[in-house]
Amino acid sequence: MESAGLKPEGVVLRGGFVVAMDAFRTAAPRDIHLGTDGRITAVLPPRTPVPGASDVDVVGLTVVPGLVQAHLHLCQTLFRGLGEARPLLRWLRERIWPLEGAHDRESMRASADLGIHELLRGGTTSVLDMGSVHHADALFESARDAGIRYVGGKAMMDAGDGVPETLLETTNDSIRESDRLRDRWEGAASGRLRHAWCPRFVLSCTTEALRAVADRSRATGGVIHTHASEQPDEAAIVRAAHGAPNIATLARLGITGARAVLAHGVWPEDDEVALLARDGTHIVHCPSSNLKLGSGVAPVRRYLDTGVSVALGADGAACSNALDAWGEMRLAHLLASLVGGPGSVSAEEVFALATLGGARALGLEGHVGAIAPGMQADLVAVASDGAHQSGGGDPYVRLVHATTARDVRSVWVGGRQVVADGMVVTLDEDTVTHEADAARARVAARAGVPLA
């Protein structure tokens, strides 16, 4: 395959089978014309001439919209394998918070590079990321240089039990640093980088900080990203502290509506599901994280039937161990079958969570998540002719169940090719791995966490 450096008239991806997630749910052989502005100019019948454009051969590949993960912690990629066998609150207090607090700017960059390499290599082109308290600039810098579409911000932690002093901050400092990050990064890299307010969860923030975030989001249209109702013991502590369940508490403080993105939502109370649907608040389903931490299974069918907007995410590598959107899709579909019976959620619905649902959560609906004229040219070409994929039937089933991150061949973000022939072209794998190893050893030693 030739590389897709854009010529004046753009390039045409020729010979692929396109699963577009457009209004018609096109799943057919199509050619795709990428304009010089990084957007899709046209989706064409095969072999339609496009004068002046150069052709890129994607014969034998399935071309899908770039996958969107709406809940990640790139700051934790270094900590894969270091927080095993603990439920949520012990996992945070004994491992993750001390490790995050031991980051330096270079280790944060190494963690982000490691994560973004894995994400791009596996076809994830857009992310909503919660950073740690400090060094969030390094996350934006990594995303800027590697070419991923990034929405994120620093974790806000101005309260909470068991928070190490390396992370605990004053309310003023927390808000001021978030404001600075927004000023510095919102709309950077031609709009590819966006800022999000990231109060970590209700238990780590004062109501003053949460209200300040709600006010700022309302004024600026910025995304708010937080965790909610992940585990029963967490939900019980929130209820005891605030006199209301978790999602209702957030709504009362103004963290609700189309700009609010809540990770997990495993344990909503009955009237909270209707509240989410009414306000347009997004839930991010994180199946592998929820299974690994023993959190439970989010009621995805119920959310969809009630009209709640749902996206998918791998959470951090320290809990899910893999930042793999294909794995999350497969688990989401399997869990839905277990809970509601086979066919209760279709493979097409699951694929929509990882594309259209993610785009909605990131505030990028109409820009990413589908292949159609005018959309960003965020595209993934995956092999679909492997022996492990041989079979018939629904193309969405093949994508969700028989396609893996290793099947990804080429990836474009805003028309720029970031993966070619299965290799990330914006990050060197050996360098990323080597720098991550050195950074992990340094941070773990500082945190007093054993590496093995």
* Interface residue list for Zn ion (CB under 5 A): 315
100 vs 315 by CB, closer to Zn ion: 315
Measured distance between the N- and C-terminal CA atoms of the chain, rounded to whole angstroms: 42
- Min dist CB 200 to Zn ion, Å, is 9
User: C-beta of 323: minimal distance to Zn ion in Å?
Assistant: 12
Closest to Zn ion by CB, 64 or 247: 247
Instruction: Name the residue with the smallest CB distance to Zn ion.
Output: 315
Question: Nearest approach, Cβ of 246 to Zn ion (angstroms)?
Answer: 14
Q: Which is nearer to Zn ion, 189 or 237 (CB)?
A: 237
Rank residues 125 and 288 by Cβ distance to Zn ion and give the closer one.
288
Minimum CB distance to Zn ion, residue 284 (Å): 9
Nearer to Zn ion by Cβ, of 174 and 295: the residue is 295
Q: How far is the CB of 189 from Zn ion (least distance, A)?
A: 24
Beta partners for 193?
150
Compute the least distance from the CB of residue 26 to Zn ion, in Å.
34
Q: Smaller CB distance to Zn ion: residue 315 or 378?
A: 315
Distance of CA 75 to the CA centre of its chain: 13
> Cβ of residue 319: shortest distance to Zn ion, in angstroms?
7
Question: What torsion, rounded to 10 degrees, do the Cα atoms 444, 94, 248, 208 define?
Answer: -70
Closer CB to Zn ion, residue 132 or residue 403? 132
Please state the closest distance from residue 369 (CB atom) to Zn ion, in A.
21
Closer residue to Zn ion, CB minimum distance, 6 or 127: 127
